[in-house]
Amino acid sequence: MELPPCYNENRLVLMVQEPAVIFSYWELSREQWESLRGEHFLFLRLYISASSGESASWREISLPPFTDNWYFRDVLPEQSYYAEIGYYGPEGEFYPLVRSNRVTTPRTRKVAGVARFLKADSPFQLTTGEDGEGVPEEGYSSADLWSRS
């Protein structure tokens, strides 16, 4: 049994690997390729979107032929990202063919805040201190142990 190389669909998907790395994979349908007729170079653009709703192009990759995935290895924690694949028109306009889902990278630091308690008889509030930058703990798991083999 073999898996199909593609599903003949347009799609572009982002996945968060870790706070600094986003993985993307994509596929363009046969009809999409036919409509391009090999006339255009394709680009993969990663956008960072601010909470205000505005977004800015963050990275742009000129896609080498036959690539179907890409790792962005320098993204920022606690940010929202999406991507597009498209090409440039003669006037320099970027025409996206497909747009991805949005992903949010995780926080890598500790944040102070007002403590709220649930189910307490007499609700009380305390504030956590400013601990500054936190370093994620090394993962100790079966993954590490098994890798000894």
Partner 1 sequence: MPAGYLALVLHAHLPFVRHPEVPERLEERWFFEAVTECYIPLLEVLHGLDRDGVPFNLTISLSPPLLAMLADPLLQKRYLDHLEAMIRLGEAECRRTAGDRNFYPLAAMYLEKLNGVRRAYVDKYRGDLVAAFRKLWMTGKVELITTCATHGYLPLMQTREARKAQIGVGVDFFTRLFGRPPRGFWLPECGYAPGVEELLKEFGIRYFFVETHGLLNGNPLPLYGVFAPASCNNGVAVFGRDPESSRQVWDRHAGYPGDYYYREFYRDIGFDLDLEYLRPYLPGGVIRVDTGFKYYRITGPGSCKEPYLPDRARERAAEHAAHFLSRRQQQILRQGAGMGRPPLVVAPYDAELFGHWWYEGPQWIDFLCRKICFDQDIIEMITPSRYLSLYPDMQVVEPSLSSWGEGGYSRVWLNQDNDWIYRHLHRAEAVMVDLAALYPEAGGVLKRALNQAARELLLAQSSDWPFILKMGTAVEYARERLVEHIGRFNFLVQQLEKGPIDEETLREIEYRDNIFPHLDYRIFNRHRFPGRVTGGSDASLRILMLSWEYPPATVGGLARHVCDLSRALARLGDEVHVITGPVAGEGTYSLQQGVHVHRLLPGQLNAGDFLRWVEQFNEGAVELTGSVIERWGKPHLVHAHDWMVGAAGERLQVEYHLPLVATIHATEYGRNRGIHTALQRRIHEQEYRLVQEAGLVICCSEYMAEEISRLFAVGREKIRVLPNGVDPASLLAGREKEPDCRDLYHREPNIVFLGRLVPEKGVQVLLEAMPAILRQVSNARLLVAGRGPYGDYLQARVRELGLQDHVRFVGFVDDLGRNRLLEMARVAVFPSLYEPFGIVALEAMAAMVPVVIADTGGLAEIVEHGVDGYRVPAGRPDMLAHYITRVLLYPGLAVEMCRRARRKVLTLYDWQYIAGETRRVYRQALDSPEPSTEPLPSLPARTI
Site for partner 1 in 24-63 (CB under 8 A): 25, 27, 29, 31-32, 34-35, 53
Mapped onto helix, strand or coil, the DSSP state of residue 99 is strand
Q: Which stretch binds partner 1 (CB under 8 A): 2-10, 41-49, 57-65?
A: 2-10
Whole-number Å distance between alpha carbons of 56 and 94: 13
Q: Which stretch binds partner 1 (CB under 8 A): 39-47, 59-67, 109-117?
A: 109-117
Binding mask 130-149 for partner 1 (x = CB under 8 A): -x--x-xxxxxxxxxxxxxx
With CB under 8 A, what is the number of residues at the site for partner 1?
74
Query: Which are the contacts of 139, defined by CB distance < 8 A and separation ≥ 6?
Result: none
Whole-number Å distance between alpha carbons of 56 and 50: 8
